[in-house]
Structures are given as C-alpha cells and as structure tokens.
Chain A
Amino acid sequence: MSMVNWFKYASPASFYPLAGKLIPFFSAITAILLAVGLWISFFMAPTDFQQGEGYRIIFVHVPASWMSMFIYCVMAFWSALGFILNTRLSGMMTQALAPTGAMFAFLSLVTGSLWGKPMWGTWWVWDARLTSQLILFFLYLGFLALTSAIDDPRRRDKAGAILSLVGVVNIPIIYFSVIWWNTLHQGATVSMTKAPTMAHTMLMGMLIMALAFWGYTIAIVLKRVRCIILEREIASEWVKKNALE
C-alpha cells in the first residue's frame, strides 16, 4: 500500500521537517521558472503593435493578480479544513498565506496603475476589475488586522478561519455588484479590451511567470509556516529536541 498517511502531516511536529525539505525544492523550481519567464518577457516576446513595449508589464501584473485571488481561495480551503478536521496546522497555514496574498494584491494594484498611466493616461480608473482588486486588498488587510490583534492562538485560528470563509462567500457577490455598478455608471469606464489574439509567446511567458510566482508563494509560505510553528510550539518537547537539527 502506497497510501500516504496525510493525517500524520497535520501535526506541526511532523510537518515542520517536511516543510524544511520542500523549501529548497520549490526555491529551485522558482529560480528556473523565473529565469525562463524573464527571458521570454524581455527577449522572446515581440513588441506589441498597439501598446509597444509597455505591454510587457502584463508579465508581472497578471500573475500577481492571479496569485492574489488564488491565495485567498487557498486560505478559505485551509480554513474550511480546519473547521471540519479541527487540525492546528490549518490555522497556521492560513496565517502564513495571508501576508503573501496581500503583497500580491498590492503588487497587482501598483503594476496595474503603472500600466494604466501610459495606456489610458491615468493612474487609476474606477473600472470593475481594478475596484474589485482593491476590495480584495482590503479583505486581506482586514484578515491581517484581525489575526494580529488576537493574542490567544486558538481563538486567532478560529476567528481568522471564520473571516476568510465569510470573505470567500462574499467575493462573488462583491464582484457581481461592482460589475453591476460599473455598467450603470458608464461614464467612468475605459475600454480595456486586450488584443484579441494574444501572441502565443506572450501567453506562454505569462503562464511561466505565473508558475514562478506560484513556486515562490509555496516556498515562502512553507518558510513562514515553519516560523509560526516554532513560535507557537516553543515550549514543547519536540522543538527543544529536534527543531534545530
């Protein structure tokens, strides 16, 4: 039987060394993908006939936006798991993910605005996508503020889990309402239609950059969850014996 006993890794004591082994692996993947992705973004991808060289921002903007949304969903997944299985690791994972998700949401907003300035002549438009990205950033800030304000780790985990689940249920409603609002107030919109046929290499570069960001997220989250585990379990037997090996 080659069934992996997943529950074994739900305990921080056995997840800690596993995470330690996985970090170099994902760091290496990230480095390779980043090198390939950057090479495609700057040397292989042709200059766009409409947007010139400016479009190259999508190679970081789109992956950052994807990651910010994806990370929130993963947070909700861990939260749900934490509620169903009552594992301690889930709360730690959720809290390890949040700062990186917030960072990507912020990067998405900044690069979007740096893209918008030359393309539409303004740093910010109240477009549906930009607005919902901003709201996602606020949701991350709320999560970070709540979890950092609660001292008791058990309550912090549970409260964070409830908030991220409430957030993930609300995101589609918020997104729908923002689109609705945007179509009502036509005046503020700027046409954002991308080039209809995105060149093959462009798409390729974007996907590879997205995978690189994904690897980066895994490596950094594992690193952070290791810190959190040590901080929480500092008084326990296994930390004293094994953690520093």
Chain B
Amino acid sequence: MGGYGLYVWGSFGICAVAMIIEPIVLNARNQKIRRQVKRQGGQW
C-alpha cells in the first residue's frame, strides 16, 4: 500500500468491524425478543 497500509487497512477494517458487529448485535436482539414471544405463546 505504498506506506499507507496502516491508514487504508485501518479505514476498511473499522468499517468492516462495524458492519459485522451491527448485524450480530441485532441478531441477538432478535433472538431475545423471539424467545419472549415464544414463552408468551406457551402461556397463551
């Protein structure tokens, strides 16, 4: 990267990290609420 490696990979890296973490966090949130719905459905 002609001496710019740290900056270029740093930029792409932080974007990749953010755009991977966000779906993971959201999946966890989704699982949690679905579990709640299921539990409630059982009581129903």
Contact = CB atoms under 8 A, between A and B. Distances in A.
Direct chain A–B contact by Cβ atoms under 8 Å = yes
Interface of A: 47, 52-54, 56-57, 59-61, 64, 99-100, 103, 106-107, 110-111, 114-115, 117-118, 216, 220, 223-224, 226-227, 230-231, 234-235, 239-240, 243-244
B44 to A, nearest CB: 5
Q: Is the interface of A mostly helix, strand, loop or mixed?
A: helix
A193 B44 CA distance: 64
Interface of B: 1-5, 7-8, 10-12, 14-15, 18-19, 22-23, 26, 29-30, 33-34, 36-38, 40-41, 44
Given A118-B3, A227-B33, 6 more contacts: A56-B4, A57-B8, A220-B22, A240-B37, A243-B34, A244-B34
A57 B36 contact: no
Contacts of B40: 234-235, 240
Nearest to A226: B30
Nearest to A41: B12
Contacts of A53: 1-5, 8
Contacts of B3: 52-53, 118
B26 A224 contact: yes
Contact of A57 (B7, B29, B30, B33): B7
Nearest to A104: B18
A220 B11 contact: no
Given A231-B33, A244-B37, A114 B10 contact: yes
Contact of A54 (B7, B22, B23, B41): B7
B26 A47 contact: no
Given A54-B7, A56-B8, A60-B15, A100 B22 contact: yes
A160 B37 CA distance: 27
A216 B26 contact: no
7 contacts: A52-B4, A56-B4, A60-B12, A107-B15, A118-B4, A224-B26, A230-B37
